[in-house]
Amino acid sequence: MFRINIYVILGTLFFSTLVSYYFNHSFNRLIWINTLFSFSLMLTLLGGMMLVIQGGFFSGIIRSFRLFFWKTSPMKQVLEEIEGKREDSSPYLLSFRFTFPFLYSGTSLLLFSIIFSWYIS
């Protein structure tokens, strides 16, 4: 997992350098640190969203919607009762491989960009 964190950090540093150079056509530390801050913030938010989904926060909402649509459709309800099917009570869980590498890398780059911005100003 440490290797994935290093790859994500290096990729984010490289990509932020390319994007800041592409839009400015010269290397400026302030523009680079702002771009790095934006990318690391997006990386942290993406990791946080994956953590919330992975934790099963929305499984109750999804189960409630399924039950609501099952109750409002009498034809479907009758067919499922005849067939002997029951509503599945299993939680809706997903697992992501890059949840914690995105969180760790994004947070460390976010802190680095904040500290470096204080240093250059």
pLDDT of residue 38: 96
The tokens for 49 are 């969203």
pLDDT at 68 over 70: yes
Residue with tokens 């530390």: 29
Q: Where residue 85 falls among pLDDT bands split at 50, 70, 90?
A: low
pLDDT at residue 113 tops 70: yes
Lowest mean pLDDT among 23-32, 36-45, 73-82, 91-100: 73-82
Average pLDDT estimate for 64-90: 73
51, 99 contact by CB (below 8 A): yes
pLDDT at 76: 73
Q: Rounded to a whole number, what is the largest CA-CA distance in the chain?
A: 72
